[in-house]
């Protein structure tokens, strides 16, 4: 009996240690970035152009660039991903073609991001002649997030009880009306969750923008979608490894802004989501 | 009250799911202003039959349907879209399934989907259908509340009202009281008797007593075939077929 109790305690102890191993790095990263980066934060850092080969001044263009990339890529991938998911889950029959498409989507999610970057370079930058530009980078990022959006949207649609569809159809609603008025409103919170996940990924990825949009040093704001732009993750890479003599606070400050930006967008989307939940 | 002319004529209706034959070719006329109750054990084909009448069976991709069904003079497969058919032949499900909307939006769902936008008209439909389903007095003061907050019995009458909002000629009830208490059941049955005056009703039920209470005619289904069809009283007091008798006295099922 006592032996069992001891085993139980040891079991829980091991599980607790495993949890600790997960939490400690996350916490220490956040704390490290906060401690080392907080001092660098200032209005000047956030809202002015970099000076002196990025050794002074601010990171405003990188913030703006990342913001644009997130907006444009989500504006592209969210509608397409959601429409594809609706087709696959509400319309498509289970046949060889749909199964192949499903397989493709699953595999797309596993492709490494640098491969997306290469793909974006050859398709958007070179073949479609968009050049190194926001639109090329945003489309590359958008394609990268499509599997995430499609998968999460399908999960959200699947979670809507089949009986709601039956009732709606029995009341003379067409298939599309049923999707539009009964299924989608129920699935919206789940769809938004997928969109939130994608925002975080788009803002943080470096490899897909490396060849398609990111500028090493461009101390002015982009004026159109065909301009190059700086972006936070690439800027972080540049000032960490490529330029000597950058103050440490600048690096951690940039990381802090990147994390903060994603956090702000996540909170905004969560608020939107709970608003939709309450409406019902 | 005597029932009238055939409202729905079913000819040689057969339904199969893959290799399983659920209905083996049956023909029946459902008469205007009658309550036809269909009794039988599970897997007898009752629900498949019902779902053929408003083509809800089309939603099941496995199902294969043969035979012809006419509503009045119209073949329901050739002469009508499924949407138009379902507006004329409404359906009440075994479990009350309010949509996750307000009470009012549940009632107006069907009319809105058919393109009705007129506010006063919708308002009138809400009151009329809730009254006809015997639930108006209980819920008239909270039409904006989520329908999911109502009790089970109220939900099922709300669902009846929602179907009535489309003013269907025929209403199909698929074991509508299987999850309800006796008082709610009585109210639903009362609604059915009242509705029969202006509409045709088909009721599938596992509860033979309910069939005896509300049916004008009763059909006994067994393993995909209609064993017997007759006035409800005859089915329960003087069945012609031994299997019918065994079922109604409770020897199996």
Q: pLDDT of A216-230, one tens digit each?
A: 888 788 888 888 888
H helices present in chain B, as ranges: 46-53, 82-88, 103-113, 119-132, 136-139, 152-164, 182-195, 208-214, 232-237, 242-248
In three-state secondary structure terms, B58 is: helix
* Predicted pLDDT at A55: 75
Residue with tokens 């000032």: A239
- Could you tell me the sign of the dihedral formed by the alpha carbons of B118, B123, B126, B131, in that order? negative
Nearest CA in chain A to B59: A166
Count of domains for chain B: 1
Q: What is the mean pLDDT of residues B35-43?
A: 93
* Predicted pLDDT at B236: 93
Give the span between the Cα atoms of B98 and A169, in whole angstroms.
13
**Per the domain annotation, does B106 fall within a domain?**
no
Most confident of the ranges A184-198, A199-213, A264-278, B23-37:
B23-37
Whether B3 has a pLDDT exceeding 60, the answer reads no
β-pair partners for B10: B28, B69
- Beta strand pairing status for A50-51 and B89-92? unpaired
* Predicted pLDDT at A200: 85
Nearest CA in chain B to A93: B61
Q: pLDDT of A143-172, one tens digit each?
A: 999 999 999 999 999 999 999 999 999 999
Q: Where are the domains of chain A?
A: 61-232
- Could you tell me the sign of the dihedral formed by the alpha carbons of B187, B193, B198, B201, in that order? positive
From residue B45, alpha-carbon distances to A34, B51, B244 in Å are 68, 10, 15
**Per the domain annotation, does B18 fall within a domain?**
yes
Residues B33, B199: contact at Cβ < 8 Å? yes
Cα A251 to its chain centre, rounded Å, is 22
* Predicted pLDDT at A1: 57
Inter-chain residue contact B166 with A163, CB threshold 8 Å: no
Q: Which 8-state DSSP code applies to residue B102?
A: B
Whether B210 has a pLDDT exceeding 90, the answer reads yes
* Predicted pLDDT at B253: 57
**Nearest partner of B235 among B191, B205, B190, judged by Cα:** B205
* Predicted pLDDT at A109: 85
| CATH superfamily membership of A61-232 | MetI-like (1.10.3720.10)
Q: Which 8-state DSSP code applies to residue B148?
A: G
Q: What is the mean pLDDT of residues B161-173?
A: 96
Nearest CA in chain B to A180: B113
A122: Cβ contacts below 8 Å, ≥ 6 apart: none
Q: What is the mean pLDDT of residues B97-103?
A: 94
Closest CB to B100: pick one of A171, A172, A280. Answer: A280
| The pair of three-digit structure tokens given for residue A255, joined into one six-digit string | 């990381």
**Per the domain annotation, does B51 fall within a domain?**
yes
Cα B249 to its chain centre, rounded Å, is 25
Residues B23, B185: contact at Cβ < 8 Å? no
* Predicted pLDDT at B249: 87
Which positions 83-102 of A are in contact with B (Cβ < 8 Å)? Answer: 93
**Per the domain annotation, does B139 fall within a domain?**
no
β-pair partners for B23: B15
CATH at residue B202 = 3.40.50.300
β-pair partners for B14: B24, B66
Give the span between the Cα atoms of B215 and B233, in whole angstroms.
9
Interface test with chain B among A171, A177, A182, A184, by most B beta carbons within 10 Å: A171
Prediction pTM value: 0.83
Whether A95 has a pLDDT exceeding 80, the answer reads yes
* Predicted pLDDT at B22: 94
Residues B144, B103: contact at Cβ < 8 Å? yes
Give the span between the Cα atoms of B95 and B175, in whole angstroms.
8
**Is the model more confident about B252 or about B44?**
B44
Q: Which 8-state DSSP code applies to residue B171?
A: E
**Is the model more confident about B103 or about A250?**
B103
Whether B2 has a pLDDT exceeding 60, the answer reads no
Give the span between the Cα atoms of A67 and A202, in whole angstroms.
10
Interface test with chain A among B97, B108, B172, by most A beta carbons within 10 Å: B97
**Per the domain annotation, does B100 fall within a domain?**
no
A8 near B CB under 8 A: no
H helices present in chain A, as ranges: 2-38, 43-47, 60-86, 96-110, 113-120, 134-158, 162-170, 175-178, 184-204, 207-210, 232-241, 248-279
For residue B214, give its domain range.
6-95+170-248
* Predicted pLDDT at B194: 92
* Predicted pLDDT at B1: 45
ipTM entry: 0.91
The nearest CA of chain A is from the CA of B110 a distance in Å of 5
**Per the domain annotation, does B144 fall within a domain?**
no
Closest CB to A166: pick one of B59, B83, B163. Answer: B59
Q: Which 8-state DSSP code applies to residue B150?
A: S
Spell out which chain B residues touch chain A, with contact meaning CB-CB distance below 8 angstroms: 54, 56, 59, 61, 82-84, 86-87, 90-91, 93, 95, 97, 99-101, 109-110, 113-114, 146, 159, 162-163, 166
Residues B30, B203: contact at Cβ < 8 Å? no
In three-state secondary structure terms, A143 is: helix
- Could you tell me the sign of the dihedral formed by the alpha carbons of B195, B200, B204, B206, in that order? positive
């Amino acid at each position: 009996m006592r032996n069992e109790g001891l085993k139980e305690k040891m079991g829980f102890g091991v599980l607790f240690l495993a949890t600790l191993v997960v939490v400690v790095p996350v916490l220490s990263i956040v704390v490290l970035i906060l401690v080392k980066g907080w001092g660098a934060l200032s209005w000047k850092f956030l809202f002015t152009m970099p000076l002196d080969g990025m050794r002074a001044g601010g990171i405003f263009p990188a913030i703006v660039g990342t913001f644009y990339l997130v907006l444009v890529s989500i504006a592209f991938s969210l509608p397409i991903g959601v429409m594809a998911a609706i087709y696959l889950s509400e319309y498509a029959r289970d046949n060889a073609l749909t199964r192949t498409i499903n397989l493709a989507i699953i595999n797309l999610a596993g492709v490494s991001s640098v491969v997306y970057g290469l793909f974006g370079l050859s398709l958007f930058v070179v073949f479609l002649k968009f050049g190194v530009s926001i639109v090329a980078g945003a489309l590359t990022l958008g394609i990268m997030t499509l599997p995430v959006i499609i998968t999460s949207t399908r999960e959200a649609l699947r979670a809507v009880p089949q009986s709601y569809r039956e009732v709606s159809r029995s009341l003379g609603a067409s298939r599309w009306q049923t999707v539009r008025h009964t299924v989608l409103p129920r699935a919206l919170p789940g769809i938004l969750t997928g969109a939130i996940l994608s925002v975080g990924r788009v803002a943080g990825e470096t490899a897909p923008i490396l060849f398609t949009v990111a500028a090493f040093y461009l101390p002015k704001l982009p004026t159109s979608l065909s301009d190059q732009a700086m972006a936070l993750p690439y800027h972080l890479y540049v000032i960490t490894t490529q330029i000597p003599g950058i103050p440490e606070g600048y690096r951690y400050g940039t990381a802090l802004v990147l994390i903060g930006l994603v956090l702000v967008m996540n909170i905004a989307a969560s608020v939107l989501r709970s608003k939709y939940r309450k409406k019902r | 009250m005597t029932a009238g002319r055939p409202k729905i004529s079913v000819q040689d209706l057969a339904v199969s799911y893959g290799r399983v034959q659920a209905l083996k070719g049956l023909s029946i006329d459902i008469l205007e202003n009658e309550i036809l109750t269909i009794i039988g054990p599970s897997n007898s084909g009752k629900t498949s039959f019902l779902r053929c009448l408003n083509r809800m069976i089309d939603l099941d991709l496995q199902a294969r349907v043969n035979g012809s069904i006419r509503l009045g003079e119209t073949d329901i497969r050739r002469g009508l879209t499924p949407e138009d058919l379902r507006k004329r032949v409404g359906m009440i499900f075994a479990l009350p399934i309010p949509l996750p909307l307000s009470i009012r939006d549940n009632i107006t769902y069907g009319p809105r989907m058919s393109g009705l936008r007129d506010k006063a008209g919708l308002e009138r439909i809400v009151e009329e259908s809730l009254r006809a389903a015997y639930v108006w007095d209980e819920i008239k003061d909270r039409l904006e509340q989520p329908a999911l907050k109502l009790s089970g019995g109220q939900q099922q009458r709300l669902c009846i009202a929602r179907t009535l909002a489309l003013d269907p000629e025929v209403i199909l009830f698929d074991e509508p009281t299987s999850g309800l208490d006796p008082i709610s059941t009585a109210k639903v049955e009362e609604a059915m008797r009242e509705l029969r005056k202006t509409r045709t009703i088909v009721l599938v039920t596992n509860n033979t007593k309910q069939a005896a209470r509300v049916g004008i005619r009763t059909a006994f289904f067994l393993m995909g075939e209609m064993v017997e069809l007759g006035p409800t009283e005859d089915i329960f007091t003087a069945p012609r077929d031994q299997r019918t008798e065994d079922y109604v006295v409770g020897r199996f099922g």
